[in-house]
Structure 1
């Protein structure tokens, strides 16, 4: 097939959607498909040599106008070429398939309010968003993407996001295909894993008998670090327990919170890690009480490393879990008692070992190859529809 991929920036080293597009392009090229990339910038060295590049020039200007300008220019450029399938990501339109890996902006905005613990704070935050021109712009752009005259076939990475399309825009489930996110589990293979685990834990000043929960995120507020620290204060001290925090280097606010709660001695702030593999190896489980995640890659990475996952129902990746075998799913990240109880359970060595085995099995059920084949089925469906038209 002749396949066009459309995204403003494709620098795979930056992670996220850009890494995914690079992985997808390489897999498509390996199967002999013609891959065209429509982008404003890219790293050609991280993409297949056979890739056909189409530069989309985007004038400088306010951040909230850039997606409009890229989408308009991309749509115009696509009209000049014929492809079997075109696929867009995030804030763009005019493609046959749209894959919003970050979920719906409308759902994200609603869930962002949940990170505030009380109704007054949520109300004030809602007013602030109502006055934000970027929020207005992105909401209008999203309606154009999905409610315009030429509607795309939508691919999402969880049933949670599929339900959001119906909830916020009335788009029925049969118009939305669920194709799970995936990672390459071989990225986390290491023959010296036990050695690296011991070395990393020694850097954390952790003893062998310590149970360690791992939290990995850049957006600490949205991913629930504040309520996690509140829950940590409720974890009994009769068994040794620590929390390791990896992500954004700015942690002063959370250090103060930990000190105020009397848990500073149980938290290790590790800052940013370009490669967090050793952190996964050193920990005993992942705790990710997020307020919004379409399908957290952090959760998938943890499972691939044999780490059980404690997360919230606001994470699409929770659909992959079978609690209590491979983790736990809590209803509300602000429920400190429920979150503390889920974490404390891992201080039981027998449960910890059994859940680790189950987590590893869960992590192997959905691989990038599964994802790729499911996506090819979607491409084939689009191609047949276009031929019939």
Structure 2
């Protein structure tokens, strides 16, 4: 098949981007031809005879303006060279399949000032979302978070049969094997952490949305003894200046480390004592299921799409909404040296063994390769 994939930006360490790459690689393994259209591309230089990557240059200072022009350009390119399927990894018109990595935009916008809904940014994103989810659109939707489905249906009356719930995707290197403790211990030595030190981990881009500030405040609120021997490591792409200033103001700057995107995330998962994922907004939260695969206990907020996996696994704590900093501070203080740590780790590993955590690309390709919506294969 001739497939066209469209996404706004590709960079190595984003959750959507890693899933895009795995789906692309699997499509190529199956012999498909893949044309990729994107506004920005960095960190992966694939060489395959059946893969082309077109980095689209469009004018515009604001992202939403560039997204609109990107959508128009892609439509023109596809009209000149029609593929068998058009797959979007961001919301845009003209898709046969949409990979739904983002929450319902219009629903989230209701919490903002009413004047926001008169802005160009709102109108652009709302129009692209409507193009995908309106009741009469003829596309499949690869749904990552079941909690988002009723929100889309509330605004667009999207039929049930267009949604296809995807399992989480966890790359194979994240699963804890017999060598995981040795790998983790090696990294702790590299970082200068002793046996009594505690290592907190956050993984994900967009530091503000992931709740890095909440983690820093909880670290600073620990009682003196555990606070002095606890370090927070933040992996991912984002602007750290604001968070670093917060850490300085709270007196924990020397214990908060921003390492940006890494290719050895698995080592950190095996080395850490606790994953923190107190996101303000999170459609899924891939780091949550990666922690389960690695046997790492986690403290997460209940608004994360994958928080239910922690509850089902029994491998940590989920903070119910509405979030309060006091509740997180108490939870971290109780978990940091908890005697439950070995049990949480064993429960995580057991859950990972019996739960489908690694086959999202196969599920996605099954829908992409199948008939268009409304057709019969």
- TM bracket, shorter-chain basis: 0.7 to 0.9
What per-residue deviation string (whole Å, max 9, x for no partner) do you get for residues 350-379 of structure 1? Answer: 3111111222333442333x2233224423
CA contact (8 A) 1:156 1:177 kept: yes
Q: Structure 2 CA distance, aligned partners of 1:90 and 1:225?
A: 25
Counterpart of 2:35 in structure 1 is 37
Which residue of 1 is the match for residue 292 of structure 2? Answer: 303
Q: Which residue of 2 aligns with 1:271?
A: 259
1:102 aligns with 2:102: yes
- Specify the alignment match of 1:68 in structure 2: 68
Asked if 1:291 is matched to 2:280, the reply is: yes
1:18: which partner in 2? 17
Cα distance in 1, alignment partners of residues 154 and 334 from structure 2: 35
Query: Which of 293-302 and 72-81 deviates more?
Result: 72-81
Gap runs ≥5 in structure 2: none
Separation of aligned partners in 2, 1:50 and 1:162: 38
Scaled by the length of structure 2, the TM-score of the pair is 0.82
* 1:104 Cα offset (Å): 2.8
Change (3 A) 1:310 1:44: closer
- Could you tell me how far apart the structure 1 residues matched to 2:56 and 2:71 are? 11
Using the TM superposition, name which of 249-258 and 95-104 deviates more: 249-258
CA contact (8 A) 1:85 1:382 kept: no
Alignment coverage as a number of residue pairs: 371
Shift of 1:214: 1.5
Runs (5+) with no aligned partner, structure 1: 114-124
Aligned to 2:196: 209
In 2, Cα distance between equivalents of 1:43 and 1:184: 20
SS in 2 for 1:22: helix
Instruction: Please tell me whether the aligned partners of residues 155 and 176 of structure 1 are also in contact (alpha carbons under 8 angstroms).
Output: yes
Q: String of CA shifts for 1:252-278, please: whole Å, max 9, x gaps.
A: 54445345546x278332332423333
Alignment of 1:204-283 (within 5 A): 204-237=191-224, 239=226, 242-247=230-235, 251-258=240-247, 260-261=249-250, 264=252, 267-275=255-263, 276-283=265-272
Alignment of structure 1 residues 237-386 onto 2, 5 Å: 237=224, 239=226, 242-247=230-235, 251-258=240-247, 260-261=249-250, 264=252, 267-275=255-263, 276-322=265-311, 325-332=314-321, 334-348=323-337, 350-364=339-353, 365-368=355-358, 370-379=359-368, 381-383=370-372, 385-386=374-375
The Cα offsets for residues 152-181 of structure 1, whole Å up to 9 and x where unpaired, read as: 221110112223212333324443221133
Contact 1:162-1:178 at 8 Å conserved across structures: no
Against the structure 1 CA distance between its residues 107 and 231, is the aligned structure 2 distance closer, same or farther, given a 3 Å change threshold? farther
- For 1:156, the equivalent position in structure 2 comes to 143
Contact 1:289 1:311 in 2 (8 A): yes
Instruction: For residue 139 of structure 1, report the CA deviation from its aligned partner.
Output: 1.9
1:326–1:355 CA contact under 8 A, matched in 2 = yes
Structure 1 residue aligned with 2:93: 93
| Displacement after TM superposition at 1:230 (Å) | 3.3
C-alpha distance 131-376 of structure 1, shift in aligned 2 (>3 A): closer
Which residue number corresponds to residue 117 of structure 1? none
Relative distance call for 1:344 and 1:14 in structure 2 (3 A) is closer
Change (3 A) 1:230 1:45: closer
Contact 2:28 2:34 survives alignment (8 Å): no
RMSD across aligned C-alpha pairs, in angstroms?
3.5
**Residue aligned with 2:201, SS:** strand
The match for 2:127 is 140
Q: What's the secondary structure of 2:311's corresponding residue?
A: coil
**TM-score of the two chains, using structure 1 as the length reference:** 0.80
